[in-house]
Structure 1
Amino acid sequence: MDAARSRQGSLTKPPGSLGVLEEVSVRLAGIAGACPPPRPQRAVVAVFAADHGVVASGVTPWPQEVTTAMVENFRAGGAAVNVLAREAGADVVVVDIGVASDVKEDEVVWARKVRPGTADLSAGPAMTRAEAAAAVGTGIRVADDLVRRGYDVLATGDMGIGNTTASACLIAHLTGRPAAGITGRGTGIDDVMLAHKTAVVAAAVARVPAGADPLDVLAEVGGLEHAGLAGLVLGAAAHRVPVVLDGVIAGAAALVAQALAPAAVDHCFAGHRSVEPGHATALATLGLRPLVDLDLRLGEGSGAVLALPLVRSASAVLRDMATFDSAGIPT
Structure 2
Amino acid sequence: MKFNIEKPNTELKESLRHKIDFKTKPIGSLGILEDLAIQIGCIQNSLSPELKNPTIMVFAADHGIALDGVSPYPQEVTWQMVANFLNGGAAINVFSRQNGIDIKIIDAGVNHDFDKNSGVINAKIDYGTKSYLSQAAMSQDQFEHALKQGADLIEKIHHNGCNIIGFGEMGIGNTSSAAILLHYFTNLDLRECVGRGTGWNDEGLKKKFEILSKAISNYKTENTVENILTHFGGFEIVMIVGAMLKAAELKMIILVDGFIISSALLAASKINSTVLDYCIYTHKSNESGHKHMLECLNARAILDLEMRLGEGTGVAVAYPLIESAVNFLNQMASFEDAGVSNSDKVTAS
TM-score w.r.t. the length of structure 2 is 0.90
Q: Give how far 1:208 is off.
A: 5.5
Residue number among 125, 148, 163 corresponding to 1:114 in the alignment:
125
Q: Which amino acid aligns with 1:10?
A: F
In 1: Cα distance, 2:134 partner to 2:82 partner: 27
Residue number among 83, 88, 93 corresponding to 2:94 in the alignment:
83
Q: Which amino acid aligns with 1:72?
A: A
1:258 to 2:258 alignment: no
1:12 to 2:24 alignment: yes
Q: Which amino acid aligns with 2:243?
A: L
Q: Residue 236 of structure 2 aligns with which residue?
A: 225
In 2: Cα distance, 1:104 partner to 1:215 partner: 33
Q: Give how far 1:192 is off.
A: 1.3
Q: Residue 38 of structure 2 aligns with which residue?
A: 26
Cα deviation, 1:96-133, whole Å, max 9, x if unaligned, reads 01101222344731000112111112222111232122
Q: Which amino acid aligns with 2:34?
A: E
Q: Equivalent residues in 2 for 1:134-283 (5 A)?
A: 134-206=145-217, 212-283=223-294
In 2: Cα distance, 1:201 partner to 1:108 partner: 35
**Residues 137 and 233, structure 2, Cα contact 8 Å, conserved in 1:** yes
1:294 to 2:320 alignment: no
**Residues 221 and 227, structure 2, Cα contact 8 Å, conserved in 1:** no
Q: Residue 98 of structure 1 aligns with which residue?
A: 109
SS at match of 2:165: strand
Q: Which amino acid aligns with 1:160?
A: G
Cα deviation, 1:261-312, whole Å, max 9, x if unaligned, reads 1101211111111111111111222222111111111111111111111111
Q: Give how far 1:164 is off.
A: 0.5
**Residues 134 and 218, structure 2, Cα contact 8 Å, conserved in 1:** no
Q: Residue 35 of structure 1 aligns with which residue?
A: 47
SS at match of 1:277: coil
**Residues 133 and 215, structure 1, Cα contact 8 Å, conserved in 2:** no
1:317 to 2:341 alignment: no
Residue number among 85, 91, 94 corresponding to 1:74 in the alignment:
85
Residue number among 59, 80, 90 corresponding to 2:70 in the alignment:
59
Q: Which amino acid aligns with 1:53?
A: G
In 2: Cα distance, 1:105 partner to 1:139 partner: 20
Q: Give how far 1:69 is off.
A: 0.8
Taking only the aligned residue pairs, the percentage that are identical comes to 35
Q: Which amino acid aligns with 1:130?
A: D
Cα deviation, 1:148-201, whole Å, max 9, x if unaligned, reads 222221111100011101110111111111111111101111111101212233
Q: Which amino acid aligns with 1:256?
A: A
Cα deviation, 1:28-66, whole Å, max 9, x if unaligned, reads 01110111212x131111000000000111111211111
SS at match of 1:298: coil
Q: Residue 49 of structure 1 aligns with which residue?
A: 60
Q: Which amino acid aligns with 1:295?
A: E
* Structure 2: unaligned runs, 5 residues or longer: 1-12, 344-349
**Residues 114 and 134, structure 1, Cα contact 8 Å, conserved in 2:** yes
Q: Which amino acid aligns with 2:49?
A: P
1:128 to 2:103 alignment: no
**How many aligned positions are there?**
330
Q: Residue 3 of structure 1 aligns with which residue?
A: 15
In 2: Cα distance, 1:89 partner to 1:59 partner: 36
In 2: Cα distance, 1:299 partner to 1:218 partner: 20
**Residues 110 and 127, structure 2, Cα contact 8 Å, conserved in 1:** yes
The root-mean-square deviation of aligned C-alpha atoms, in Å, is: 1.7
In 1: Cα distance, 2:117 partner to 2:271 partner: 32
Q: Give how far 1:207 is off.
A: 5.4
The more displaced of 212-221 and 88-97 is 212-221
In 2: Cα distance, 1:98 partner to 1:212 partner: 24
Bigger Rg over Cα: 2
SS at match of 2:113: coil
SS at match of 1:122: coil
